[in-house]
Structure 1
Amino acid sequence: MVFHLARCSSTAIVSRKNQQTLVAVRAALSSSLCHSKLFQGYHNQLETKLTQTRNRSLHTSNKMGDTSVMAPAALKTKGIEKSVWVEFNQLALEVKPLNLGQGFPDFAAPENVRRALSRVCNDNENVLLNQYTRGFGHPRLVTALGKLYSAEMERVIDPMQEILVTAGAYESLFVAMMGLVNPGDEVIIIEPFFDCYDPQVRLAGGLPVFVPLRPSRVGTVTTSAEWKLDPAELAAAFSNKTKAIIVNTPNNPLGKVFSRAELEMIAELCKKHDTIAIMDEVYEWMTYSGETHVRMATLPGMWERTITIGSAGKTFSVTGWKLGWTIGPAQLLAGPKVIHQHSVYTCTTPIQEAVALGFEEETARRGTPECYFQALPAQLEVKRDRVVSILTEVGMYPIVPQGGYFILAYVRDIMNKIDVGGDPNESRDFRFVKWLSRNRKLQGIPPSAFYSQEHKNIGEDYIRLCFIKEDVNLEKAGEILKQLKLDIDAGNVK
């Protein structure tokens, strides 16, 4: 069969059968039985024939127009193709800046969880730890989560019924939308918001309704606590079509930690309008001095209408592990579980086991300085304060975050002194961030990406920077910004 295909004349379009045969031949060549010159010769003939056919097909397509018979993308994907992460990750690959854009640590994760994963993968006793596990969550992990969150939420949580483990908090959000939102349902999104909320609501057939946090002051050093919801504006967003509201606390990108009073205001509206609260709490352990993370699920009458989303990547500084969870009453998890079981089905067993071991160890030392839930925010608060000092010094007025590991800085005054060029149809923060990356080799993220079209103007005067980075890199960023200020003052901006 291989010999025949290598000799046969090709059609204008490469057949799937030929493609499959080539794959098979390549695979066979990796075997010690197939290293003869004769066999390799036939492989090379087939490779050449298929390449020539592809080129002819492309030439014909270019002459006659697109003759592709591939089905177009589903209509539901129209209008949501763009992603700020795809765009700025590509820019980072091209210009190789100091990257304070994407939210991941550039230092080692805690040794205990790394050691746990290594031990699990090399366990010759329990070999099943490298095979499939329970679809809704590895038993050891959901048990550890149940113990931790039963204490956090002041109620006994059934780990087998009230916890769903997912491929990162991103999947938790996705299965929540797909499993709870019906076409035509409205979902309230508080701005600024993590950018996947909007497209996920739309993919589920829902209609996003945006309500922004608004600053009380601009153009000076402020705190994230000064960004507030307008109670009347929020109340007006609720209707008999409202299915859910998404609240991110601590907020990305703002760093706002919603107060008990603010959450109680939202809770009363949820109860009044029979609305589900989808709580994105992935930065739950990262609050700073004087701040308390209040859980919506602990407020009176809210457990039964709240799902809480968490992240191992954020909790243990292992964003590449992509493991998250959803906690809530069984009836609210029923729909998300169906979506999960028919898409991802089950998450990586060794990673779930390692995270479970990490939680067991950290839960045992809660309340001590050694606990990572205490050690990480203490470390981050020092970094935050250093970045605040740098930004203030160079005239980029920071919004001091109460939690999380991002900081917004007001840069309108600086943008007004620089010709950043770029596409005039783009938001000015996009153009400034691209200019900064290309010309000063420092990358952030434009905050207008976290707003609806209607409210993008609120974010256009800022830049988002991530400070969960090595101190040496934060200092390098400081030097870049200080030099930029000197050049602006000297009229020497390039």
Structure 2
Amino acid sequence: MSKQLQARRLEGIDHNPWVEFTRLSKEYDVVNLGQGFPDFSPPDFAVQAFQQATTGNFMLNQYTSAFGYPPLTKILASFFGKLLGQEMDPLKNVLVTVGAYGALFTAFQALVDEGDEVIIIEPAFNCYEPMTMMAGGRPVFVSLRLVFSKKELELVAALCQQHDVLCFSDEVYQWLVYDGHQHISIASLPGMWERTLTIGSAGKSFSATGWKVGWVMGPDNIMKHLRTVHQNSIFHCPTQAQAAVAQCFEREQQHFGQPSSYFLQLPQAMGLNRDHMIQSLQSVGLKPLIPQGSYFLIADISDFKSSMPDLPGAMDEPYDTRFAKWMIKNKGLSAIPVSTFYSQPHHKDFDHYIRFCFVKDKATLQAMDKRLCSWKGEPQA
């Protein structure tokens, strides 16, 4: 064809680092510590809820309400309403989406207009920039320091109100916090509910990322625009997965704050995994930073950058990317370069970190230990 085939909104966003690193991890015999998914079973109650959804009420094989299975939107409104200090209407303040990814895409399409500036705090999940650009917006990047306190969050909230800015808050890891730290939803701060979309994920909440059930919550005057995008795109999310998630939240609401709550048990277990990984990585000279939350820890590779600077790779390829590929091919360990989560102009400032996922089965961590034990002395390219 003589004319350009792809839509202009796809220009410059065709490369995806996950595709490349997933391919490399499959090509080589690696312990995959790069991608953020658990390789252990969801809790028994979640598995049972899904089984019941697929074998019980046969009508769960059919369409449900376009904006969310009613029992799910009802429990989400009740559960998160208490946390955010809001009386939430399941029909007006909650939208169920195909994962948190779907919630983000719907929000960008509904609210970002041609030429709008979108402030992205980096490191950021690398879908934010292409989603901004597909909506016609212009990404503006602000780099985060190693510490992010409640005081700084309050400053962000004050700036949003001062400049009449909407806030998209991706809170999929809200239950994964460690060492006594507490997650703070920005929508719970004074004056922020009215201008904030809070995005969550059942996959991250219940260790079932393949279910792809997410949600977005916010005031009706904003949410109605997301519903317009939703009804004119996917229209409806799979019913059975929503039914299973509804049961999981009903169970968690009964156990919330108690030792039997999965939202307490999961971070306790993953905190031990985190500490295990930190100790193991230190044994080969990697310098992990201790994370307060999420699935991931970041390791400083500055010493390797000094001792082995000339790793194979393209001239313009950041050092951490070359190191991650070298580690896959030579050490049998997969991690993700942190520069991936920064904008192009900032790659050079953050090319001495790599990211590991510690939300893994005990057997995976033991396999990691074996690879690290064989990594003796000063590594050579």
**Closer/same/farther in 2, CA of residues 120 and 294 from structure 1, 3 Å limit:** same
Out of 97, 102, 106, the residue aligned to residue 39 of structure 2 is: 106
Match of 1:192 among 87, 110, 123: 123
State the alpha-carbon separation in 2 of the partners of residues 154 and 212 from structure 1.
30
Q: Which residue of 2 aligns with 1:178?
A: 109
Match of 2:369 in 1: 478
Equivalences for 1:306-321 in 2 at 5 Å?
Answer: 306-321=196-211
Q: What is the DSSP-based 3-state SS (H/G/I as helix, E as strand, rest coil) of the residue aligned with 1:307?
A: strand
Q: Kindly provide the amino acid, as one letter, of the partner of residue 62 in structure 2.
A: Q
User: Is 1:203 paired with 2:134?
Assistant: yes
Q: Distance in 2 between matches of 1:457 and 1:475?
A: 33
The CA distance in 1 between the partners of 2:97 and 2:234, in whole Å, is: 8
Q: Distance in 1 between matches of 2:77 and 2:7?
A: 39
Aligned mates of 1:99, 1:406 — CA distance in 2? 13
Deviation of the 1:476 alpha carbon: 2.4
Q: 1:423 aligns with which of 304, 314, 334?
A: 314
Show CA shifts across 1:61-94 (max 9, x none). xxxxxxx579611111010001111111111121
Give 1:295 shift.
1.1
Task: Pick which of 412-421 and 149-158 moved more.
Answer: 412-421
Mapping for residues 115-154 of structure 1, pairs under 5 Å: 115-123=48-56, 126-154=57-85
1:145-190 C-alpha deviation (Å, 9 max, x unpaired): 1111011111211111100000000011111111001101101000
Q: Answer with 1 or 2: which has the greater Rg.
A: 1
Is the alpha carbon distance of 1:420 and 1:479 closer, same or farther for their aligned partners in structure 2, counting shifts above 3 Å? farther
Q: Which residue of 2 aligns with 1:272?
A: 162
Alpha-carbon distance in structure 2 between the residues aligned to 1:383 and 1:199: 33
Whole-angstrom CA distance in 1 between matches of 2:162 and 2:376: 51
Q: Quick one: distance in 2 between partners of 1:467 and 1:70?
A: 47
TM-score (norm 1): 0.75
**Alpha-carbon distance, 1:442 to partner:** 0.8
Distance in 1, matches of 2:303 and 2:378, equals: 14
Gaps of 5+ in 1: 1-67, 215-226, 229-257
Q: Which of 213, 229, 233 pairs up with 2:144?
A: 213
Q: In the alignment, what sits opposite 1:168?
A: 99
Secondary structure (helix, strand or coil) at the match of 1:101 reads: coil
Question: What does the per-residue CA deviation read over 1:387-415, in whole Å, with 9 as the maximum and x for residues that have no partner?
Answer: 11122232211111000010000012124
Residue of structure 2 equivalent to 1:330: 220
Equivalent pair of 2:92/2:224 in contact (CA under 8 Å): no
For residue 95 of structure 1, the aligned residue among 16, 19, 28 is 28
Cα deviation for residue 95 of structure 1 reads 1.3
Aligned to 1:403: 293
TM-superposed deviation, 1:420: 2.6
Instruction: Find the residue that maps to 2:183 and give its secondary structure.
Output: coil
Name the SS for the 2:141 alignment partner.
strand
* Whole-angstrom CA distance in 2 between matches of 1:204 and 1:318: 29
Q: Distance in 2 between matches of 1:185 and 1:482?
A: 51
Is the 8 Å Cα contact of residues 104 and 468 (structure 1) preserved in structure 2? yes
Q: Which has the higher contact order (CA 8 A, sep 6+)?
A: 2
1:259·1:294 contact (CA, 8 Å) conserved in 2? no
SS in 2 for 1:271: helix
Q: Secondary structure at the match of 2:40?
A: coil
In 1, are the aligned partners of 2:34 and 2:357 still within 8 Å (CA)? yes
Q: 2:235 aligns with which of 345, 352, 355?
A: 345
The equivalences for 1:430-445 within 5 A come to 430-445=321-336
Q: CA deviation at 1:337?
A: 1.2
Deviations 1:283-319 (A, max 9, x none): 0001112211111111111110011000000000001
Residue 351 of structure 1 and its aligned partner are, at CA, apart by: 0.3
Equivalenced residues, count: 380
Distance apart, 1:136 and its partner CA: 0.5
Give the secondary structure class of the aligned counterpart of 1:484.
Answer: coil
Corresponding position of 1:231: none
SS of the residue corresponding to residue 469 of structure 1 reads coil
The match for 1:157 is 88
Q: How many Å apart are 1:116 and its aligned residue?
A: 1.1
Match of 2:16 among 70, 83, 97: 83
> RMSD of the alignment, in Å?
1.4
Whether contact under 8 Å (1:190, 1:210) holds in the other structure is yes
Give the Cα separation in 1 of the matches to 2:324 and 2:55.
Answer: 44
1:274-289 mapped onto 2 (5 Å cutoff): 274-289=164-179
1:436-475 equivalent positions in 2, closer than 5 A:
436-475=327-366
Q: Match of 1:279, SS?
A: strand
Identify unmatched segments of 5+ residues in structure 2.
Answer: none
- The TM-score with structure 2 as length reference comes to 0.96
- How far the C-alpha of 1:259 sits from its partner, in A, is 2.8
After superposition, residues 37-48 of structure 1 pair within 5 angstroms as: none
